[in-house]
Every structure is written in structure tokens, then in C-alpha cells.
Structure 1
Amino acid sequence: MSHFKLKYIRWIVLSLLLAAIWLTMRSPGAGEVYARNIYPYVSAVLSRFSSLFPFSVGDCLIYGSIVGLLIYVVYAIAGRRSWKTAVGRIVEYLLWGYVWFYMAWGLNYFRQDFFNRTQIPYAAYSADAFRSFLSAYTDSLNASFVPIETVDKVVVAEESKKGYREIAGRFGLVLPAGYLHPKPMLLPSLMSSVGVLGYMGPFFTEYNLNPKLLPVQYPFTYAHEMAHVLGISSEAEANLYGFLVCSRSEVPEIRFSAYFALLPYVLSNAYQLLPEEEFNQWKETILPEIKEVYNRKATYWLDLYSPLIGEIQSTAYNWFLKGNNIPSGRKNYSEVVALLMALDNAPEQI
């Protein structure tokens, strides 16, 4: 087969896949079909392959692609390729990457939203309901406190998979495979400088954790990123499921990690919704030991953070989320409080 025919076939296939992706993006029903009937098989193949390697295959692909494209541009500038040919090949490569991203995981952004998928009624904001939630959360946070110097990562893995197997059917999640395991980030110092604790690698269904995570953060971050692997794109939902899985564990350190991880989002909501005096009074009800852990954590990550790079990453990720059916952008993380309140009011409890 001639080179021209192969190129022609490639572009036809690429065009058909792009059309399928764009049509799915416009239909939550189609997105749900993808999430429940296609993604489980795609993720099983990709995660089984990537689990064979101790390092992040997806990170190697991303960073390798960046370096490769830069080298190719230099090669083209040196006159080894015509600009028309070089631009065409770069565009084609990027489009295939786009297709791979959405076919491998990204179409989960366009599935039905939490309330339609779970048939849980949306709970409109009520000052009394929020205060009731705040009181119950604070009592549970204080009661769950245990000092955490180390964490058993094997136990965290077992508890997370066990917890997800219990709730997967209720929330439309993929069942976690036994061979799934987290990968260390390829460039943890860079990720720490922008405040990233973990992320899901969509190209090979991997979840990558920052090796600099504090022990108190590890269980919840593990469970949060696993939610993404199991087909959840919303950060609020990933927070919700991470919380449900960890807070129901019989391991005290894992339970505290769940309540502690929610504290920044509860603080943010309380600051916006309560009068200043009431907000300050509420903060005084949190155990001093928990405040100390929280402040140590904040100082620890602030020392690693780069304001310039961090702001660039934050802005880019905010645009990315808004462009992928998450209209609130990075604020989506804090919306976990609304989901918890709705779940508390649901007639059917899990």
C-alpha cells in the first residue's frame, strides 16, 4: 500500500473518531453509555499494561512527546523538512493524542451529572441545614483525631479497594482491579512546586501520587485518585467518594485522613456562608491538635510552592476543567460539601 493511501486512511479514521468524540460530548446519555459500557474495558486493557511497570508510563509519554516535538521542530527549522510537512505531522500527532485522551478516559467528563446518575435530589442551600452539617462534621472531625506519624500503604490500598467495591454499583463506578497500584510522579519536585498531591494518568489508566505527601494526606489522596481511575472526572465527586471510602474504614488513621482532607473545603464554605463572628466561633470548636496539624501541613506545602509556576498551572487547569464540562473550574473541589449535604438528605442511604 502506498504512503499516500496510508495517510488517506489515517485521516479518515482520525476524522471518524473525532466526530464520535464530539457527538458524545454533546449527549450526557452517550457519555454515560461510554462510562458504563466502554470505559471499563478500555481501562482494563490500559491499566493491565501499565501495571507491569513500576514507573508512570503516562508521564513518560507526555514528557517524551514534548521533548520529541521540540526536537522535530528544530529538525524542521534546520531545513530537513518542509514547513508544510512538519506542521501537518505535528497537527496529526496532537490530534491522535487528543483522540487517545478522550477515548481512554476523557469522555467521563461528559457523563450524566451526580444528581441525575444517582437519582439523589439536589439540596438547595439552607442556612439551618448548613449549620447542622457543620456541627456534625466538626464533632466527627474531632472524634476521629489520631496522631499520624506513619501510614501502612498496603493497608490503605486494601481498605480503598474494599470500600470502592461496596459503593461502586450505587454510584456507577468501575470495580477496582486487584492489580491496581499507585505510581510515583516522574517529576515530584515540579508537581510539589504547583501544589499537586496526585493526579490520574488518563493515557494508561494510572494514578500517580506525590512521594512528598504527608502521612495524614496519603489515605485520602490515594482514594481520591482511585475515584478518577474508576471513571469519575468531577473533583467534587472524587472528594466525595474518597471521603466515603476512608471515613468508613475501621483503621483510625484512614478515618482521620478523610475528615482532615475535607477541612479546607469546609473552611472555605463556612467562611463564605457564615457571618464573621460566627465563623470565628466555629473555628474555636476544632481541637487545637487538629489546628496544629493543619497549620504544619500548610507550612510544609507553602515551602515547596512556587507562586509563579503555581499560578500558571492553576490558571491552565481552571481553563481545562471549564472546557471539559466542569463550569465551576477549580472551585469544583469545594463543591463536595454540597454533595455530602445532598447525600445526607437522600431518602436512600448507601
Structure 2
Amino acid sequence: MKKLQWKYIRWIILVLLLMSIFLFRFVSGTGEFYARSIYPVISSCLSRIASWFPFSLCEVLVIVMLVCLLVYPFIARRRNRRWRWIAVTEVEILLWMYVWFYWGWGINYFRNDFFERAGVTPCTYEEQRFKQFLSAYTDSLNAAFSQEVYVSQPALEQAIKSVYAKIPEKYGLIRPKDFQHPKRSFCNALYSGVGVLGYMGPFFDESHVNHELLPVQRPFTYAHELAHLLGVSSEAEANFWAYQVCIHSTDAGIRYSGYFGLLPYVVVNTRGLLSETEFKSWLDTVRPEIIKQLYDKEAYWDDRYNKLLGKLQNVVYNWYLKSNQIPSGQKNYAQVIGMILSLPTNWWK
């Protein structure tokens, strides 16, 4: 009788939690309430637990759950459990994982977008304004150039976190904690094979950074993944904060990583918005050492890329983003330029 009562209580709690996720998804303002009032507490607790372990708890959890889902039917059948019982049990496990994913971090997908929180209207394309940005950005990129970027991991974390702590509260990012450190992945070669430079582990609020990153990529990528940990779900917004935080650093190497990290998105936007002649003319204004560094970076990752796995990952991740209110899918990464152009020059204050 007690087992039966616990089963009903467990399912009632599960259903209520599932309903709450749909509430956050569809009721305006509730997602922002979660991001500002609930997530900071959950994130602090989960990431504190994760900090006690040098490895990724998120990956351990996923691997253990997958093994359990595969092995459980054989164990249950040996105990004469019916297939219906097995199916219901496995569905329940998956639903609890679904709830944990969203309540642990995923509800941040349903918060107000960047422009609403910043109190600005997304800018429409104006050629002159874009060219002004392009000229100023290119000057800064060229001036910041560094052939070698090296910042120790402790110094990098301290520098990036100190800038994040100064971001005005209206943007809705929580403050980074001293005990939050990026984790290394068990499956790093697999992530390199599909072009993943880092990711956010939602089950224990852990950021992960690919340990094969080139030194010039490390500050920008770490700042991007930390933005996710601080409550940012949009990839474009994570790129925006990575860029802004890096270029506001006092460390010259971190500043250059910020400008260099934005360069691929500037290239995509410039090629799409300007004529071929104008694009080539702009490219000639970028220091040749930087162009070479960009080509070398692309060749470095091309050597590690697996086309079949990469295509599969692109399809799955595109679907994942679109199902979580990011309709542009992976194109969302390149929309960072629109965010930069939409803000006034004194927006940081």
C-alpha cells in the first residue's frame, strides 16, 4: 500500500512540474521571473555540488541514465516484469530527466529576449551605420592583434568573472561565483569531431570548454560558455557577452581574443550585406597576419571534423534550438552583430 501511495505522489509531483514548464514557456513574464529569482538559487546549489568533483557530473549523469535505460529492461524481465511496466518506468525516468533539464537551466530559454531586457528596438539594416561599425571594429581588431595569446586558466577565470560582475543588473545576468570552474569533457574528441568548442551542462549547471581550443580561442569561448551559466540561453547573446566582456578586459590577450572571436560573424555579415567588391576591399584592410590566423584556425578544426557526425549534430542541434524558441536555429550565432548595432555607445553604464 505504501509503495502504491508513493507511486501516485511521485506522479502527481511529476505532472505538476511538467505543467509548470509549460507555464513558463507560454505565460509572458514567468520565464524572466525564473531567470532572475529562481535560477540564481538553483544554479548556485547545483554548481556548488559540481565544484566538489573535478570531472563533469552532467556527463556522468547522462551516461549512467543511458546505461540504466538500456540495462533495466533485461533486469526487469528476469524479475518477470511485464513490458508495459518496463515501458512506463522508462518513460517516467525520461520525464524526470526532462524536468531536471528545464528546472535546472532550460527555462532560461523562455525569458524575455535581449532587446526587451536592454530596453532597445532591434535595429534595421542601414548601410552607412554598418560600414561605420565595420571600420571601427577593424581598426580595433588590427590594433589588438597578438601573434600569441596565453593566459593561465586561473588568471583567465578571474579576469572574465571580474568584468561580468560589472554588467548592469538590468540585463538580468546573475553574478559568477568563485567556485564555478569550466569542466573538461570525457568525450572531447567527439565534440572536436562535430565542431563543438564548448557547451553548457544543464543538469549541474557546469560550463564545459573543449581542451583542444587554440590559445586565441580560449578566452572568448570560456566567456561564451560562462554567459550560458549566468542565465543566457541565446547563442547570439552569449556571443555578444563574450565579445563585450573580453574587449573590456585589462588583459591585452583577452581583448584580442574578443575581437578575433567575433571575426567569423563579421565576415559572414559583411559578405552577405555588401557587394563582392566591397567585401574584398574590406578584407584587404584586415592585417594579413590576422587573416592567416583565421585560415590556420579553420584548417586546425577541419582536420578534426567528421563530416557525417557533423551533419547529424547540425540537424539535431538545429531542431533543439528551434524547439526552444530560437527560430533561427544555428543561424542565431551570427545575429550577434545586430545586438551590437542596436545599443547606444554608452549602453554599459
TM-score for the superposition, normalised by structure 1: 0.97
**Deviation of the 1:76 alpha carbon:** 5.2
Structure 2 counterparts to residues 262-301 of structure 1, below 5 A: 262-301=262-301
**Deviation of the 1:167 alpha carbon:** 0.4
Verify: 1:253 aligned to 2:253, yes or no. yes
Verify: 1:199 aligned to 2:215, yes or no. no
Indicate conservation of the 8 Å contact 1:246/1:258, yes or no.
yes
What residue is the counterpart of 1:217 in the other structure?
217
What residue is the counterpart of 2:334 in the other structure?
334
Q: Which deviations, in whole Å up to 9, do the C-alpha atoms of 1:18-65 show, x marking residues without a partner?
A: 111101100230000000000000001001100110100001111221
Unaligned runs of 5+ in 2: none
Cα 1:242–1:348 change in 2 (3 A) is closer
Cα 1:337–1:66 change in 2 (3 A) is same
The one-letter amino acid of 2:233's match is S
Indicate conservation of the 8 Å contact 2:183/2:206, yes or no.
yes
Unaligned runs of 5+ in 1: none
Measure, in 2, the Cα distance between the counterparts of 1:294 and 1:67.
41
Cα 1:154–1:347 change in 2 (3 A) is closer
Aligned residue pairs total 349
Measure, in 2, the Cα distance between the counterparts of 1:79 and 1:312.
38
The one-letter amino acid of 2:161's match is K
Measure, in 2, the Cα distance between the counterparts of 1:45 and 1:166.
23
- Cα RMSD of the aligned pairs, angstroms, is 1.4
**Deviation of the 1:14 alpha carbon:** 0.5
**Deviation of the 1:118 alpha carbon:** 1.4
Any idea what SS the aligned residue of 1:129 has? Answer: helix
Measure, in 1, the Cα distance between the counterparts of 2:156 and 2:2.
54
**Deviation of the 1:349 alpha carbon:** 4.2
Q: Which deviations, in whole Å up to 9, do the C-alpha atoms of 1:179-228 show, x marking residues without a partner?
A: 11111012100110000100010100100111101100000111100000
Q: Which deviations, in whole Å up to 9, do the C-alpha atoms of 1:87-118 show, x marking residues without a partner?
A: 10110000000111111110000000111111
The one-letter amino acid of 1:3's match is K
What residue is the counterpart of 1:175 in the other structure?
175
TM-score for the superposition, normalised by structure 2: 0.97
Cα 1:147–1:77 change in 2 (3 A) is farther
**Deviation of the 1:132 alpha carbon:** 1.1
Any idea what SS the aligned residue of 1:277 has? Answer: helix
What residue is the counterpart of 1:208 in the other structure?
208
Structure 2 counterparts to residues 65-214 of structure 1, below 5 A: 65-75=65-75, 80-148=80-148, 150-214=150-214
Measure, in 2, the Cα distance between the counterparts of 1:9 and 1:349.
48
Measure, in 2, the Cα distance between the counterparts of 1:303 and 1:349.
39
Q: Which deviations, in whole Å up to 9, do the C-alpha atoms of 1:232-290 show, x marking residues without a partner?
A: 00001111111111101111110010000001111111111111111111111110110
Identity %: 48
The one-letter amino acid of 1:244's match is Q
Measure, in 1, the Cα distance between the counterparts of 2:26 and 2:181.
33
Measure, in 1, the Cα distance between the counterparts of 2:78 and 2:305.
38
Measure, in 2, the Cα distance between the counterparts of 1:42 and 1:104.
7
What residue is the counterpart of 2:62 in the other structure?
62
The one-letter amino acid of 2:267's match is L
Cα 1:6–1:273 change in 2 (3 A) is same
Indicate conservation of the 8 Å contact 2:185/2:208, yes or no.
yes
Measure, in 1, the Cα distance between the counterparts of 2:136 and 2:246.
17
The one-letter amino acid of 1:227's match is A
Indicate conservation of the 8 Å contact 2:47/2:206, yes or no.
yes
Measure, in 1, the Cα distance between the counterparts of 2:42 and 2:336.
28
What residue is the counterpart of 1:305 in the other structure?
305
Measure, in 1, the Cα distance between the counterparts of 2:347 and 2:251.
26
What residue is the counterpart of 1:240 in the other structure?
240
